[in-house]
Structure 1
Amino acid sequence: MTPLRTALLSARPYPTYRQFLTTLLKDKGRTTGDNQSELYLKIADLNEARMDRLDRKNRLTEEFRSGLTSLKKSYTLLVLTEGWCGDAAQIVPVLNWVAEASPRVQLVCALRDENIGLIDQYLTDGGRSIPKVLFLETATENVLAAWGPRPLIAQTISTQYRREPEPKEDYETHQLELHKWYARDKTISTQKELMEVFDWLESD
């Protein structure tokens, strides 16, 4: 079985994925993956609040919503993600907005660390950065495009941090600054880049 097929078989619809994360954290005091450090659990808890906030208010732009209503092809968005990933908390709910806006788009979520063979086909600067969104043709399950792990501006912020010489600000401080950017951006950059992928796929 291919890594893609394995991921699809284990993937959860977004509501099931959200409930899985909440139950894991609230009932078992755990997040996804092997790293159960205090930092990862703290971030996972913050991520719950971030996703809750985005789930409550769909801010899909009218331009994007209009584009989705005119899709001619059907797509499955397979996102590789984890509960401790801050970027995923800012982006996966937006993917759900997209799926809710069009019957031609479905979203499923698979855990990166359970699908290493697949994420290793879509590395970012040699790393297993997430979320990674694979755009599949629903009928054939062929991968048509990949996007992620974050919008270009956020990726630049992250890359600059990694390349800073030591000593540099601690990881938590960096994460706070990154999430301040997400708050100011209000998902606009994420939506714009996702819309560009759909436009490119539809023009083929």
Structure 2
Amino acid sequence: MDRKRFLAAPTFSEYLKTVEKNRELWHALSRRAVADEATRERARAIPGSWHVVALTEDWCGDAINTLPVFDRLAELTPDIELRVLLRDENLDLMDAHLTNGTSRSIPVLIAYDADFEERGWWGPRPAPIQAWVMTEGMKLDVKDRYRGEVRRYYARDKGRTALDEFLTVLEAAALG
């Protein structure tokens, strides 16, 4: 990643203007996204300046439920800038951040420092629901998996776990 590639990527609000699949859901969740004060304070306490790239596609339910809260945090945290790239148009980045070393699962958030050196990444979903998907969820048809437990998880969690896990990545990166 370099400055030119990062700055050429759309912001989240620019990306939202282009979504076609699940357009209403993307916009509804974006309007309701919240990063609470404790989370914002935690983010502001992380030293350094952070450039974050989200790899996504508009059909991804996990992205619909997490990227709006990441964007809200970035909007409210001066040292975090979020940009969005499409997975299928950026396979060099995607293939360097495979889930379990094999899957192009999204979203993936890649954290770069002020010099655009990669310092860590998060994805494709919060650990508790990822564990369920990889065990019990695999026993279900993919549509049933996402209609049921995954959707309920996101409705209850409202992005809090995803933010917590990503901030843990940034905190570790800031330490060294």
- TM-score, normalised by the number of residues in structure 2: 0.89
| Partner in structure 2 of residue 190 of structure 1 | 162
Cα distance in structure 2, aligned partners of 1:105 and 1:173: 36
Unaligned runs of 5+ in 1: 26-43
Counterparts of residues 104-183 of structure 1 (less than 5 Å) = 104-125=79-100, 126-138=102-114, 140-160=115-135, 163-164=138-139, 169-177=140-148, 178-183=150-155
Residue 12 in structure 1 maps to residue 10 in structure 2: yes
Deviations 1:92-127 (A, max 9, x none): 111101111111110000000001122111111210
Partner amino acid for 1:174?
R
Unaligned runs of 5+ in 2: none
Per-residue deviation, 1:195: 2.0
Inter-partner Cα distance in structure 2 for 1:163 and 1:180 = 17
> Which residues of 2 match residues 14-163 of structure 1 at below 5 A?
14-21=12-19, 25=20, 44-45=21-22, 48-125=23-100, 126-138=102-114, 140-160=115-135, 163=138
Q: Tell me by how many angstroms 1:157 deviates.
A: 2.1
One-letter code of the match for 2:42?
Answer: G
- Structure label with greater radius of gyration: 1
- Do the aligned partners of 1:87 and 1:150 also contact (CA within 8 Å) in 2? yes
* Residues 50, 90 of structure 1: 8 Å contact kept: no
Q: Which whole-Å CA distance do the structure 1 matches of 2:40 and 2:52 have between them? A: 16
Deviation at 1:52, TM superposition (A): 2.1
Measured in 2, the distance between the counterparts of 1:162 and 1:119 equals 24
How far is the alpha carbon of 1:161 from its aligned partner? Answer: 5.2
Provide the aligned length of Structure 1 versus Structure 2: 173
1:199 alignment partner, one of 136, 158, 171: 171
Higher relative contact order (CA 8 A, sep 6+): 2
Provide the TM-score with structure 1 as the length reference.
0.77
Q: How many Å separate the matches in 1 of 2:12 and 2:52?
A: 11
What fraction of aligned residue pairs are identical, expressed as a percent? 28
Q: Is the 8 A contact 2:52 2:109 kept in 1?
A: yes
- Secondary structure of residue in 2 paired with 1:118: helix
**Counterpart-to-counterpart distance in 1, 2:168 and 2:25:** 25
Deviation at 1:184, TM superposition (A): 1.3
**For 1:20, what is the secondary structure of its paired residue?**
coil
CA distance in 1, matches of 2:145, 2:24: 19
